[in-house]
Structure 1
Amino acid sequence: MSDAVLSDQSRSELLASLRAADIDRYLALLLMPAAVRDDLLVLFLFNAEIAAVRDRVREALPGEMRLQWWRDMVSGERREEAQAHPVASPLLELIERRALPVEPLTAMCDARIFDLYDDPMPDRTSYEGYAGETASALLQMSAFVLDPTAATRTSTASGHAGVAQAVAGHLMMLPITQARGQVFIPGDLLSATGLSRDSFLAGADRDRSANAIRAFAGFGREHLGKARAALAEVPPAVRPAYLPVAMVETVLDRAEKKAADCLSETVRLPQWRRQWQLWRAARRGTF
């Protein structure tokens, strides 16, 4: 029996918004259990909203204010304003109906402040922390929506899978972040290949840039391997939460092959291949 509370019109509008903002999670959502699809739709849209703040502001301060608004909203401090927002209103209802833990949602907002600035990512430990509060948290919250009891056994899988997923995402975004002056590749990986943030952005030394990109992909592959080992122990009821992870390995493969070309060319697969990967993963229950 479905717990869906969205009207047909609202669902249609929100699905269109997710498709435009995050087509990969939209495609994955279509293969997830129908009984929780509306709730996951709202959760994914919240993530899309805070992830896109950098794209919607010209300066960091308005971005911080926007993230603070979301932080206040999930904490229950802006209920009247939330009622008029197409994502905030159903998100508040979801938090209350499912008894979702609020702390991971506020931490997601706090972590996204990093996106607003061009500060370098210091090292792999810092990157793991950032990914843990963004991609990993979303996976863990998705598992909670699917089965709160089973989700208590998924933190290790969510942690490693989120890092792998974040690495794949940043590899796909390299042409965009390079143009912005952002570097998500951890500083210790850059320095190990003889690069600094500035020299990586300059892109003059393609061999070293290629080595840095391969090292970053290898970092993601290491976490993907650990995620798969942990996912083998995850209860079947929550495995659909990890469907988006099915596309990570191919991105890592392509990044390792394209190397320095990733700075100007996307490593994202065509949509039909992404759909096929997701369908296959959904059938097999392995990612």
Structure 2
Amino acid sequence: MSLQACADLVARAGRESFAAVMAAPVEARRILFPVQAFALEVARAPWASEEPMIAQMRLQFWRDVLEEAEAGKARAHEVAAPLAEAVAAGVPVAPLMACVDAREWDIGREPFENEAAFWDYLDATGGGLVWASAAALGAGAEAEAGLRGWGRGAALARYFQAVPELESRGRVPLVDGRAEAVKALAEQGLAGMTSAAVQRGALGQVGSAPMLLGAMAPVLLRKAISAPGRVAAGALEMSEFRKRFRLMRMAATPEWKM
């Protein structure tokens, strides 16, 4: 069980996340790859079966993995073992556990109770993971709010891209799907990312490395603000050239804001 197994899993899941981790300093990858692999496995768990009980069991597996990692134990599993090493290196367990709990929503078909519940979901599945990774890479408690804001915005952009697929599966992804409501969400997400971006220079390249995973989000959120209909149409995209250029620029310039 090795870091390479986590890297392979992230690479198979998508070019963008893999490229973001590879753009990070080498010392940051030992944290980012296990946390990202964990996030992917937890995100898949609710969709692995039509039987809610099986999905619940898969999520419980990850709760058990986290409890054992916190106790200094590691399972012989391609993600669980490197994740336990990341926890031993300083990744806090509480935000990871919150991510597992939040994925309970994906098992059912009920809409979010309200907008606050939706933002809580984004914080648990995005903001908390950015903070957890950064904490292990030297970020102090004073940076938590900003890092979570960055992660929430990035999670919102990814969620917007998933809206058509969620609707095709019979889910109600947004509390309010009207154009003006989508625009307001995008504006709120972008505001959080803009506020967080000023911290990058103080965090340095290693401490801010988890923010690279949200490198494309500000552009996508701006697109959603200018044309909210892109979300429902599944047209919230960027060219591969622009993705590569933006990631390289952000990785090379910690002081660059957005």
Q: Tell me the TM-score normalised to structure 1 length.
A: 0.79
In the other structure, the counterpart of 1:58 is: 50
Which of 168, 172, 179 in structure 2 is aligned with 1:210? 179
In the other structure, the counterpart of 1:256 is: 225
Counterparts of 2:187 and 2:159 in 1: how far apart (Å)? 13
Which of 234, 238, 253 in structure 2 is aligned with 1:284? 253
Structure 2 contact 146–192 (Cα < 8 Å) conserved: no
Which of 198, 210, 213 in structure 2 is aligned with 1:241? 210
Deviation, structure 1 residue 79: 9.4
Deviation, structure 1 residue 23: 3.1
Two-structure CA RMSD over aligned residues (Å)? 2.5
Structure 1 contact 57–63 (Cα < 8 Å) conserved: yes
Question: Would you identify which runs of 4 or more consecutive aligned residues in structure 1 move more than 6 Å?
Answer: 77-81
**5+ residue gaps in structure 2?**
none
Q: Does 1:89 align with 2:81?
A: yes
Structure 2 counterparts to residues 111-150 of structure 1, below 5 A? 111-147=102-138, 150=139
Residues 80 and 227 (structure 1), Cα distance of their counterparts in 2 relative to 1, 3 Å cut: closer
In the other structure, the counterpart of 1:106 is: 97
Structure 2 contact 92–135 (Cα < 8 Å) conserved: no
Deviation, structure 1 residue 225: 2.8
Give per-residue Cα distances to partners, 1:238-278, cap 9 Å, x unaligned. Answer: 12221122211111122234432432323122333222211
Deviation, structure 1 residue 282: 1.1
Structure 1 contact 29–37 (Cα < 8 Å) conserved: yes
Aligned with 2:92: secondary structure?
coil
Which of 169, 176, 197 in structure 2 is aligned with 1:180? 169
Which of 209, 214, 221 in structure 1 is aligned with 2:190? 221
Q: Tell me the TM-score normalised to structure 2 length.
A: 0.87
Higher mean Cα deviation, 266-275 or 131-140?
266-275
Deviation, structure 1 residue 34: 0.6
Counterparts of 2:74 and 2:143 in 1: how far apart (Å)? 34
Counterparts of 1:177 and 1:266 in 2: how far apart (Å)? 15
**5+ residue gaps in structure 1?**
191-199, 201-208
Deviation, structure 1 residue 232: 5.4
Question: Which letter does structure 1 place at the counterpart of 2:181?
Answer: A
Structure whose CA Rg is larger: 1
Deviation, structure 1 residue 60: 2.4
Aligned with 1:52: secondary structure?
helix
Counterparts of 1:233 and 1:278 in 2: how far apart (Å)? 16
Give per-residue Cα distances to partners, 1:87-142, cap 9 Å, x unaligned. Answer: 1122123323x143222221211111112222212333222222222211110111
In the other structure, the counterpart of 1:273 is: 242
Equivalent residue pairs, number? 254
Q: Does 1:26 align with 2:14?
A: no
Aligned with 1:119: secondary structure?
coil
Give per-residue Cα distances to partners, 1:162-215, cap 9 Å, x unaligned. Answer: 221121111111211121222332x3xx2xxxxxxxxx5xxxxxxxx3333223
